[in-house]
Structures are given as C-alpha cells and as structure tokens.
C-alpha cells in the first residue's frame, strides 16, 4: 500500500488480449484488484492492453483478431468481478494521449535500459514495438498517476522502470507531479505453468500453451488439468508434496487452504495423481462456476458500452497529466 497520501490511492492493471484470462491472472492479480476496487469509488483502473499486443505484426499474435479479442478479455474481466460501478474498465487504444506521454518520458529512459528488457533479450528478432513495449507500459502507469500497480512477478522489471522514470520526473518537476508507483501486492506470487518442473520452472501464459484458462470450454479445461506435469514416483509411494504442480495449481485456484486439503490426502496415502487431478477439476468448476456463468450472460453490446464510458473516465484523468506535461515542456505558453 502506498503510504504517501498526497495522491489518491489508485490501482492500475493491464491485460494483453491474448488467448484469454487464466488461473495465473486470477491468482496473481485479479483476486486482489477485485477486493481493493471497493476501497474507494473509481480507485481501480483496469484496461485491455491491445496496443501492447500489437508490438509485432505476425501470425504469432493473430493480428487480425486483436480487436475482437480485446472485447473478449474485457468481458472476461467483468465476469471475474471487475465491477464497472466502481472500477474504470477501458481499452488502451481508446487513449491516444498515451503516446504523447510516452514520447515525453522517452527522453529520460536510457537506451541501455530498454536493451536489457525481458521481451527484447528473449526475442531473436525483436521489432521496435517489442523494444518500446516497456515505455508504453510506463506511460500507462504514470499517465494515470497510479499509486499501485497490480502485476505478477514477471512484470517486476517494468514496474522498476516506471518507478525509476517517476523518480527522475519528480527530481525535475517536484514531488507533487507524480507518485512513485508501488506494487499492489507486497510479494506477488509467480504462478507456474502446467508444464513446469523443479529444474525447469516456467511461468504460466496462454502464449506458452501451459495455462489453465478460466473461460475455455469444459473439455479444454479438463484436458489442461489432466496434462499437469507431475514427478514420477514408484508404485505405492506417497505423492511428494514438495514442488508438486497439482498443489501449486490448487493454491493458485482457491488459495492455501485448498492446497492444504490436497497435501493432507497426499500424506495419508492410497491417493494417486489421477485422483488428485480429478479432484482438481472439481475444484476448478466449483470455484469458477459462477464466473463462467456470468461470462455466458454478458452481451457484447454491454461490454462496448462499459468500455466506452471507461475510456471517457480514463481520458479525463490522463488529460490532467497531459496538461501538466505540456505546461512543463512549454508547448503551452
Ligand atoms: N505488460 C503487462 C503484461 O504483459 C500488461 C500491461 C501493459 C500492464 N501495461 C500495463 C500491466 C500497465 C500493468 C500496468 O501482463
């Protein structure tokens, strides 16, 4: 939590329109945002980062369908419990001001910082879009004067960059200009994919096909859970609880208590991986059944209406920083 109360508590969280929200989004980000959104009206700004999905043009990102998938993710966010009566839900591409802010901060970010970005270093042929990806993310965060960023551990580098830019701007324009954003959760969990193993941990992501999607059809969900990689054991041995992916997923879905229930069954014996997976499937549908029901009931037109009013609310906030920036850089005289 941000203790500097000279700025109103404001959370920002962004979701790329990839294949769909999954258990890691729920565990690392959405569970918290849905809770904190009620702290104050309009304290949570949640958006679909469709321009981030456009940082490269190729079949890997299914470019032609980004627009459709953006609405889809917005619908899923609503189904997960983002409450449009309280939170501002918007589409990144509805905020053209972001690019002005991005250009403004481009001058204080060292080229070497961008060169070290995860996305660039892990890409054999990065585009300029991949290279600038973190800069747009910093603009998302700072343009709203967000005090808290709801992201998973994998985004730590980007958050650090945002903090660094905020510090530089404050040094130049004073501490009233911007808050230095903090992570919403002190220690966000890193949720691993179903193909993770102890010696090769991998983060969960729909782009890696190792996620448990929240809103996919029943068979896909079951199939993913059945495919969770487990450690081989000798016939008759107790299932090891240490580093077990099934336990990890149980906790990601329903918290530590759910994980403990499984662990006790492991320790009691007479319980195999296939029993555990069957019960994990039941846990999934118990836990996410009402969200999935809500998802089925939300109409596209309703999502569009919410995104439209969200964009107006977000732009109203962002316009303040744009105005201040223009004044500082003397395009307004
Ligand atoms: N890069 C984030 C991700 O891949 C998405 C994102 C873009 C974001 N802009 C943001 C998250 C601003 C939080 C705040 O998950």
Residue with CA nearest ligand 1 atom 10: 14
- 266-324 per-position pLDDT tens digit: 999 899 999 999 999 999 999 999 999 999 999 999 999 999 999 999 999 999 999 98
- Give the residue-averaged pLDDT of 137-143: 98
CB 52 less than 6 A from any atom of ligand 1: yes
4 falls in which pLDDT band (50, 70, 90)? low
Asked whether residue 68 carries a pLDDT value surpassing 60, the answer given is yes
CB 12 less than 6 A from any atom of ligand 1: yes
- 192-235 per-position pLDDT tens digit: 999 998 889 999 999 899 999 999 999 999 999 999 999 988 88
CB 135 less than 6 A from any atom of ligand 1: no
3 falls in which pLDDT band (50, 70, 90)? very low
Q: pTM of whole model > 0.85?
A: yes
pLDDT of residue 63: 84
* Geometric angle at alpha carbon 79, from 78 and 83, rounded to 5°: 40
Residue 24 and residue 148: Cα distance in Å, rounded? 19
120 within 8 A of 69, measured Cβ to Cβ: no
Residue of 48, 146, 158, 162 best suited for mutating to test ligand 1, as the one with most atoms within 8 Å of CB = 158
Q: Which of 140, 70, 104 is nearest to 317 (CA)?
A: 140
pLDDT of residue 2: 46
Asked whether residue 1 carries a pLDDT value surpassing 60, the answer given is no
CB 49 less than 6 A from any atom of ligand 1: yes
- Three-class DSSP category at 223: helix
List 44's β-bridge partners, or say none.
Answer: 11
- 8-40 per-position pLDDT tens digit: 999 999 999 999 999 999 999 999 999 999 999
CB 43 less than 6 A from any atom of ligand 1: no
Asked whether residue 332 carries a pLDDT value surpassing 60, the answer given is no
Task: Report the separation in Å between the CA atom of 47 and the middle of ligand 1, taken as the mean of its atom positions.
Answer: 9
**Per-residue b/e over 54-84, b at no fewer than 16 CB within 10 Å?**
bbbeeeebeeeebeebbbbbbbbbbbbbbeb
CB 13 less than 6 A from any atom of ligand 1: yes
Asked whether residue 47 carries a pLDDT value surpassing 60, the answer given is yes
Task: Report the separation in Å between the CA atom of 14 and the middle of ligand 1, taken as the mean of its atom positions.
Answer: 4
Greater pLDDT, 153 or 51: 51
Residue with CA nearest ligand 1 atom 11: 14
Q: Which atom of ligand 1 is nearest to the CA of 16?
A: 5
| 254, containing H or E segment | helix 245-254
Sign for the CA dihedral angle at 115, 191, 218, 68 comes to: negative
Cα–Cα separations (whole angstroms), residue 101 to 87, 106, 151, 270? 23, 9, 21, 60
Task: Report the separation in Å between the CA atom of 49 and the middle of ligand 1, taken as the mean of its atom positions.
Answer: 7
CB 137 less than 6 A from any atom of ligand 1: yes
Q: Calculate the average pLDDT of the chain.
A: 93
């Amino acid at each position: 939590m941000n203790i500097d109360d000279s700025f109103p508590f404001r959370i920002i969280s962004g979701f790329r329109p990839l294949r769909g929200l999954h258990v890691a989004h729920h565990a690392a980000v959405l569970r918290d945002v849905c809770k904190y959104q009620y702290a104050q009206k309009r304290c949570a700004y949640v958006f679909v980062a469709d321009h981030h999905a456009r940082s490269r043009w190729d079949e890997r990102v299914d470019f032609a369908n980004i627009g459709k998938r953006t609405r889809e993710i917005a619908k899923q966010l609503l189904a997960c419990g983002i409450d449009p009566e309280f939170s501002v839900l918007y589409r990144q591409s509805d905020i053209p001001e972001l690019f002005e802010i991005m250009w403004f901060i481009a001058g204080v970010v060292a080229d070497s910082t961008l060169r070290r970005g995860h996305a660039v270093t892990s890409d054999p042929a990065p585009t300029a879009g991949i290279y600038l990806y973190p800069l747009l993310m910093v603009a998302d965060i700072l343009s709203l004067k967000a005090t808290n960023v709801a992201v998973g551990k994998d985004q730590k580098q980007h958050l650090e960059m945002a903090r660094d830019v905020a510090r530089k701007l404050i040094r130049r324009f004073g501490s009233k200009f911007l808050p230095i954003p903090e992570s919403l959760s002190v220690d966000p969990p890193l949720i691993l994919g179903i193909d993770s193993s102890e010696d090769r941990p991998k983060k969960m992501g729909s782009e890696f096909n190792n996620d448990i999607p929240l809103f996919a059809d029943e068979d896909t969900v079951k199939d993913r859970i059945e495919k969770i990689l487990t450690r081989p054991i000798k016939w008759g041995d107790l299932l090891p609880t240490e580093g077990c992916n099934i336990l990890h997923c149980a906790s990601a879905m329903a918290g530590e208590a759910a994980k403990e229930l499984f662990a006790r069954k492991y320790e009691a014996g007479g319980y195999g991986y296939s029993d555990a997976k069957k019960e994990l499937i039941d846990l999934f549908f118990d836990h996410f059944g009402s969200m999935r029901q809500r998802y089925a009931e939300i109409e596209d037109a309703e999502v569009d209406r919410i995104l439209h009013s969200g964009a107006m609310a977000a732009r109203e906030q962002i316009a303040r920083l744009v105005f201040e920036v223009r004044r500082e850089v003397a395009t307004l005289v």
